[in-house]
Amino acid sequence: MDLSAVQARDNVWEMAQRQLDEVALLIGLNESLHGYLRVPKRVLEVSVPVRMDDGGFRMFTGYRVQHNMARGPGKGGIRFHPDVTLDEVKALAMWMTWKCALINIPFGGAKGGVICDPKHMSMQELENLTRRFTSEISIIIGPEKDIPAPDVYTTPKIMAWIMDTFSMQHGYSIPGVVTGKPVAIGGSLGRDKATARGCLYVVDEAMATLGKPVENARVAIQGFGNAGMYAAQLMAERGYRVVAVSDSHGGVANDKGLDVKQLIAHKFETGSVVGFTGGERADNRAILEYDCDVLVPAALEKVITRENAPRVRAQIVAEAANGPTMPEADDILFSRGIMVLPDILANAGGVTVSYFEWVQDLQANFWDEEEINEGLKRKMVRAFRETYEQARRHGVSMRKGAYCVAVSRVAEATKLRGLYP
């Protein structure tokens, strides 16, 4: 295979467009609408000068992409990572469009990122970066325009800085400009565990659909950040047996089950799951091929490929990460009878509770956590059942079933609104 073919295969934006193309054929999407949905509405690239601790300043590059806003304001996270690319941000924005439509909340898709390495920056440098980046993108964000949220290596504290910077520019507090904030300044109860809890709800539905008991079902989780860690905690509490986990440093496994509470304590104490005495050392990539009932990829994109897909042994793959499965791998898993709960379904709990937070901010009326979790469960279960119905109707994978629901909704909204001027 030549280099250009490899690059096309591995480009995450090409991957996102290909997923849309396949479903457009499946549902008979109008050619004009297909072309409209295939490209982002707006792409903003900014240069971000940041004062560093040594007194000098350094230039960073940041992006904010708005893919489609026919159903409402843009919604999507901001990631700080050395490998951020414009194509990645465009793909993530497109996936957010489908995710919001699938869950049926009134948002369009957006995403942002800054090319940086937070692990090698002080807290003051991160604050300076965040505030300057916010100032640069402030022309296109706002509660009625585009609402950012946390993503890879961004936190509630960083969301607080974004909210404060935007508010200072306008002269009054505007908590609805961002979600994932600390509860003390307008954040929502339940937001920290929302992605993991939503993932748990759809895994429960998948297990019931396949006629499999939850008790002692074996779970492997690749990635032990916010989503992976809380998924482990919530699934263990539910009765699943977490047998293997990993983070960027390595993994740990125990066929009898890991003590998740102690594992989380070890992670907080040492910064990694590696070295946990309650299991044996495991290779990070081997976690994807671990003998389990449920595999939860909760790290970065493109980790399940056509090379390792034949060796995946789980019966359910729940994508807590964005874009972890390559298209060729998707086909292999489907042909092997493995149910893949796609990212736009499995990790939609975060944006769902972000929507609840936004509504609470606009109303200045805050809900209790039980009410939030109940609302999340209703939306996740409904989205799973609509996805499953479309997948069965067309004889396709759950990913294509989810896209049938989501793309149809966005296309309908776009068509109803028409073109101006």
Domain 40-173, second-level architecture: 3-Layer(aba) Sandwich (3.40)
Q: Is the pLDDT of residue 3 over 50?
A: no
Burial class from Cβ neighbours inside 10 Å (0-12, 13-18, 19+) for residue 191 reads buried
pLDDT at position 10, please? 60
Q: ω into residue 324 within 30 of 0, thus cis? A: no
Domain locations along the chain = 40-173, 194-346
Residues that are catalytic: 111
> What is the rounded average pLDDT of the residues 286-292?
95
Closest-CA residue to 108 (of 420, 419, 409): 409
Token readout for 188 is: 């929502």
> What is the rounded average pLDDT of the residues 118-127?
97
Q: Is the pLDDT of residue 5 over 60?
A: no
Strand ranges for 98-249 from DSSP E: 108-115, 146-150, 218-222, 241-247
> What is the rounded average pLDDT of the residues 79-106?
97
Residue-wise pLDDT for 324-368, tens only, equals 999 899 999 999 999 999 999 999 999 999 999 999 999 999 999
What is the number of other CB atoms lying within 10 angstroms of the CB of residue 282? Answer: 21
Q: What average pLDDT does the chain have?
A: 95
Q: Is the pLDDT of residue 71 over 80?
A: yes
* Highest averaged pLDDT of the listed ranges 3-7, 223-227, 284-288, 384-388: 384-388
Indicate the pLDDT class of residue 17, thresholds 50, 70 and 90.
very high
Q: What is the CATH number of domain 194-346?
A: 3.40.50.720
pLDDT at position 186, please? 97
Kindly tell me the number of DSSP H helices and DSSP E strands found in the chain: 14, 12
Fold: same for 40-173 and 194-346 = yes
Q: Is the pLDDT of residue 254 over 50?
A: yes
Rounded CA separation 220/253 (Å): 9
Residue whose token pair is 């951020």: 84
> What is the rounded average pLDDT of the residues 141-165?
96
> What is the rounded average pLDDT of the residues 232-260?
96
Q: Is the pLDDT of residue 182 over 70?
A: yes
Closest-CA residue to 368 (of 190, 113, 158, 115): 190
